[in-house]
Structure 1
Amino acid sequence: MSAYRTDAVVIGGGVVGLAIARQLAQAGHETIVLERHAGIGRETSSRNSGVLHAGVYYQPGSLKAQFCAPGRAMLARYCADTGVEARFCGKLLLASNEDEAAALPALLTRAKANGVRDIALLEAAAARRLEPEIACVAALWCRDTSIVDAHGLMQALAGDLTAAGGAVALATEAAAIARDGDSLRLLTKEAGGAETELVAPIVINAAGHGAPALARRTAGLEARSQPRQWFAKGNYFAFTGHNPFSRLIYPTGAAATGVAAGLGVHATLDLGGQLRFGPDVEWTQSADDVLVDPARATLFEAAVRAWWPGLPDGALAPAWAGVRPKLHGPGAAAPDFRLDGPAQHGVGGLVNLFGVESPGLTACLAIAARVAAMANS
């Protein structure tokens, strides 16, 4: 079997993979993206809230904190320059009781340590002046939060990649990786069953849910470089009535604990003004488990009424679900992103990305810059 030689291969056509491929291509590397689906961004990148986070929640010094605020600023400039639609709507983080209110100053301190500047602590009356329908005892008002057209963003990144001489190979999966002299050899399989080989000195495993499995199919990686994969499903319900909110509304209970798979059921808006609630956390066994159980509406109603008592009965309809690529199971503290390069696993030219969930969308350009530097080191 003859092999095609190129400069770089990125496995995974989600927003992070495309951002990395764009970075490499614009640096002069002939870059090919392998995407197992028939289109880009069909997993985590398109099944989320579409929020560009400010960086409130993350442990200072963590990769999530390092990437989030700078990444949001980079992405805001990118959207302005390319015409990708985004809207700065801000978000309110609500404390529903005195215990949650007592945790807000620490959350504010953490946010400022992470580079969040436009954020303030509000009393309940001030928060209700912004959003009269909410119920809270205190809140944080973060203006540096926006929503983005994630599909438009991925199309723009893919367009930059191809303009720089790169390409996206759809319906093509990376089956195995092995050392080939100073390069890496990839066995690829197309949807129709055809097999080809690619050889490149730089290989980036940004396969999302598939990244740990691909690591297990990479020759020379020790067990510690092959993490276990967990799947946390997040369901969304659409609101069928008149939307009373103009900002994102988040509960703070989950964020304050630091031991949560998500940020709690929150109110999110799309660019058309449609109000949705989610995601919750439903542990599952498969990344493909994306059907929403209508019966979960009862759980959603209870969660939302903790901060919006006026939610009408029967106003929630199943929308969609996404599955987060987790590196921890139920009840465990959420770990940081893992960017494993040659310094971590000893395989030159290879970078594995594990557990890149939120704020991966926000941080995609910042992650891309770091990964490209790791691959070239």
Structure 2
Amino acid sequence: MAESVGAVVIGAGAVGLACARALARRGIETVVVEAHTAIGQETSSRNSEVIHAGLYYPAGSLKARLCVAGRQLLYRFCADYGVAHQRCGKLIVATSAAQVGELEAIRAKAEANGVTDLRQLTAAEAQALEPALYCHGALLSPSTGIIDSHGLMLALLGDAERQGASLALGSPVIEGWASRDGLTLTVGQGGDAMELAPRLVINAAGLYAPRVASRLTGYGAEHLPPVHFAKGNYYSLSGRAPFSRLIYPVPEPGGLGVHLTLDLGGQARFGPDVEWLPDQGVAADPATFDYRVDPARAERFYGEVRRYWPDLPDHALAPAYSGVRPKINGPDQPAADFSLQGPETHGIPGLLHLYGIESPGLTSCLALAELACERLGLEQGVAPAGATQ
């Protein structure tokens, strides 16, 4: 017999843990199932750890709305729960006269998204803030910050558990059945596998989300999104950087360019670049991804970084780490929005898939969790009829 439970969240990254917390705070018995033996082993811990302000995304998009709302929620959460963070600000820099006009376009897009604190700076004003910087002009984003992503996930998990949620590590979803009559999941490995019969399922498996969805009998394959993956490589700087703020060039196709970010200890790192992985569709197994960073790719970084930091020394960049973004658009297509696919699309009550949750997913995690609950018909503090309390 399958064990009845109020909700199952698949994936213990930042978004999955935020969803579990949101469900548990509504009084719903919630189990988080995670294939790995620790939380946040993929995209959530292999990124720039930046709290984004919400500058670049199309007005009205989920990325724009959830980034702006999520940033405010995240700063409040960090203050309330003691998560290490710093509102350090960032400069978006035009490294040629031709790019100055792009800064104005970014500012207009940001204002349409509700970001009203940007300041346009001349080159002299930007260099007065960061003397080592070279630019023709810049935008100052004071709301941008950095965060300890693992500390965030531990705080999310801790609060979810205080509300009654539980975490099952080493528990991949092996298969499942989904219909209008209910949901059943088989999770675990070998003899430790168990069957769960949740009223609600949120698939927040990140890189694995389409693969997990494809294992649900009764969920039509026509509802699976396009599946692409883009690897981003990071390089660390030997020695201390002469910057106190994050430095971003204007965006490039597929990402935000090779930018300089700082960790909470002041150490600088550069990246990510955009390295599209071979397309394998839903058959791709993220467990086989090669996260090694090729030292030779740093050669391109030097040229990119020297556009805004001409004094970057030779041989100063060392391979640091890489991450992979779950994409639902290909390399020659416009960037896709977040996709929250619920019963209105696939017809299965209580089932919600989160697809394409890349940047700004970390910033948006708390707002994403609230929207996920809303899409499942949950109001604040109210459990659905029949959900296990």
Indicate the residue corresponding to 2:356 in structure 1: 355
For 2:228, give the aligned amino acid. W
1:205–1:351 contact (8 Å) kept in structure 2: yes
Indicate the residue corresponding to 1:248 in structure 2: 246
**Corresponding pairs, count:** 370
**Gap runs ≥5 in structure 2:** 279-284, 379-389
- Structure 1 range deviating more: 213-222 or 68-77: 213-222
Equivalences for 1:156-171 in 2 at 5 Å? 156-171=155-170
Distance 1:325 1:181, change over 3 A: closer
Question: For the residues of structure 1 that align with 2:191 and 2:140, how far apart are their CA atoms?
Answer: 52
Distance 1:253 1:150, change over 3 A: closer
Shift of 1:193: 5.2
2:240–2:267 contact (8 Å) kept in structure 1: no
Indicate the residue corresponding to 1:196 in structure 2: 194
TM-score, normalised by the number of residues in structure 2: 0.93
Indicate the residue corresponding to 2:99 in structure 1: 100
Question: For the residues of structure 2 that align with 1:169 and 1:251, how far apart are their CA atoms?
Answer: 41
Deviation per residue, 1:288-342 (Å, 9 max, x gap):
2211001111011111011111000000010000000111121211110000011
1:94–1:136 contact (8 Å) kept in structure 2: yes
Indicate the residue corresponding to 1:64 in structure 2: 63
Indicate the residue corresponding to 2:259 in structure 1: 266
Matched residue of 1:116: which SS? coil
Question: For the residues of structure 2 that align with 1:242 and 1:23, how far apart are their CA atoms?
Answer: 39
Question: For the residues of structure 2 that align with 1:343 and 1:129, how far apart are their CA atoms?
Answer: 53
Matched, 1:327 2:320: no
Question: For the residues of structure 1 that align with 2:231 and 2:173, how far apart are their CA atoms?
Answer: 25
TM-score, normalised by the number of residues in structure 1: 0.96
1:339–1:371 contact (8 Å) kept in structure 2: yes
Question: For the residues of structure 1 that align with 2:211 and 2:263, how far apart are their CA atoms?
Answer: 33
2:2–2:195 contact (8 Å) kept in structure 1: yes
Shift of 1:253: 4.1
For 1:24, give the aligned amino acid. L
Distance 1:5 1:272, change over 3 A: same
Question: For the residues of structure 2 that align with 1:253 and 1:103, how far apart are their CA atoms?
Answer: 9
1:209–1:229 contact (8 Å) kept in structure 2: no
Question: For the residues of structure 2 that align with 1:298 and 1:14, how far apart are their CA atoms?
Answer: 32
Deviation per residue, 1:216-260 (Å, 9 max, x gap):
122232333111211100000000023101000000042xxxxx2
Identity of counterpart residues, as a percentage? 52
- Work out which of the residue numbers 213, 216, 219 in structure 2 matches 1:218: 216
Matched residue of 2:172: which SS? strand
Indicate the residue corresponding to 1:257 in structure 2: none
2:179–2:348 contact (8 Å) kept in structure 1: no
For 2:90, give the aligned amino acid. K
What RMSD, in angstroms, separates the aligned Cα atoms of the two structures?
1.3
Indicate the residue corresponding to 2:377 in structure 1: 376
Shift of 1:49: 0.4
Shift of 1:78: 0.5
2:180–2:347 contact (8 Å) kept in structure 1: no
